[in-house]
Structure 1
Amino acid sequence: MLATGLNAFAERAILGGPHPAPAEIRTPSRRRQEPADSRGLILDAAARIAAESGYEPTTISKITKRSGLPVSSVYWYFKDKDELLAEVVRHSFDEWRAQQPALAPLAAGVPLTEGLAAVLSTSVRSLPAAPDFLRIGHMLTLEKRETEPAARTLFLQIRDSVEGNLADWFARELTPSVLTTRPRLPQHLAQLVIAATDGLFLAHQIHEAWNPDEFVALIVDIVHASIAATG
Structure 2
Amino acid sequence: MQRKTDRKNLQGEETRVRILEETMRLVINHGYAGTTLAMVRRATGVSASSIYWHFANKESLIAAALEHTYRIQASRLPNWLDTPPSTVRRDDLYAELIRSPAAGANMEYWRVGLQLAVSRPQEPILARDRFLQIRRESVEWLAQWWERTWPADMEQKDLASTLLGQFTVGIRESEVLNLDGLRRLEAEPLNKLIAACLDEIARRVVEIAAERPLEELPASEPQAFVMTPDGSREVFVRATKDVIMELGYDGVTIARVCEKAGLPASSLYWFFKDKDELIATVIENSCQRWALTRQLSHPRPADGDWSVLTRGYILSSLNGSSGGGVLALGLLLLLQRSDQVYAGRQELKLVIQDAYEMTMSWFQKMFAPMLEEPEHADLAKYFTECFFRLLESSLLNKQIEERIWDPALLADLISTALYRVARQVQDGTIVLDLTSR
Cα distance change on mapping 1:175 and 1:203 into 2, 3 Å: same
User: Match of 2:415?
Assistant: 220
| Higher relative contact order, structure no. (Cα contacts within 8 Å, ≥ 6 residues apart) | 1
Superposition pairs of residues 41-80 of structure 1, within 5 angstroms: 41-80=235-274
TM-score by length of 2: 0.40
Query: Using the alignment, how far apart are the partners of 2:267 and 2:289 within structure 1?
Result: 23
User: Match of 2:346?
Assistant: 153
Contact kept, 8 Å, 2:287 with 2:348, in 1: the verdict is no
5+ residue gaps, structure 2, are 1-173, 179-228, 428-437
User: Match of 2:370?
Assistant: 177
Contact kept, 8 Å, 1:137 with 1:152, in 2: the verdict is no
Contact kept, 8 Å, 1:170 with 1:186, in 2: the verdict is yes
Q: Alpha carbon RMSD of aligned pairs, Å?
A: 2.9
User: How much has 1:151 moved relative to structure 2?
Assistant: 4.1
Query: Using the alignment, how far apart are the partners of 1:158 and 1:57 within structure 2?
Result: 25
TM-score by length of 1: 0.71
Pair 1:202-2:396 in alignment: yes
Cα distance change on mapping 1:197 and 1:101 into 2, 3 Å: closer
Contact kept, 8 Å, 1:82 with 1:151, in 2: the verdict is no
Cα distance change on mapping 1:145 and 1:59 into 2, 3 Å: farther
Contact kept, 8 Å, 2:312 with 2:411, in 1: the verdict is no
The residue type paired with residue 310 of structure 2 is: L
**Structure 1 range deviating more: 104-113 or 82-91:** 104-113
User: Match of 1:144?
Assistant: 337
Contact kept, 8 Å, 1:89 with 1:151, in 2: the verdict is yes
Larger radius of gyration: 2
User: Match of 1:40?
Assistant: 234
The residue type paired with residue 171 of structure 1 is: Q
5+ residue gaps, structure 1, are 6-34
Pair 1:126-2:325 in alignment: no
User: Over residues 1-54 of structure 1, what are the superposed CA-to-partner deviations in whole Å (9 max), with x where a residue is unaligned?
Assistant: xx938xxxxxxxxxxxxxxxxxxxxxxxxxxxxx97333222111111100111
The residue type paired with residue 256 of structure 2 is: K
User: SS of 2:405's equivalent?
Assistant: coil
Cα distance change on mapping 1:210 and 1:119 into 2, 3 Å: same
Query: Using the alignment, how far apart are the partners of 2:354 and 2:231 within structure 1?
Result: 30
User: Match of 1:29?
Assistant: none
User: Match of 1:211?
Assistant: 406
> Identity of paired residues, percent?
22
The residue type paired with residue 272 of structure 2 is: F
For these two proteins, the number of residue pairs brought into alignment is 198
Cα distance change on mapping 1:39 and 1:194 into 2, 3 Å: farther
User: How much has 1:222 moved relative to structure 2?
Assistant: 2.7
Q: Which one of the candidate residues 277, 285, 290 is aligned to 1:83?
A: 277
Query: Using the alignment, how far apart are the partners of 1:38 and 1:159 within structure 2?
Result: 31
Contact kept, 8 Å, 1:166 with 1:190, in 2: the verdict is yes
Cα distance change on mapping 1:189 and 1:87 into 2, 3 Å: farther
User: Over residues 69-116 of structure 1, what are the superposed CA-to-partner deviations in whole Å (9 max), with x where a residue is unaligned?
Assistant: 442443344332223223212212323544x49533336526321211
The residue type paired with residue 52 of structure 1 is: E
Contact kept, 8 Å, 1:106 with 1:112, in 2: the verdict is no
Contact kept, 8 Å, 2:295 with 2:358, in 1: the verdict is no
Pair 1:105-2:290 in alignment: no
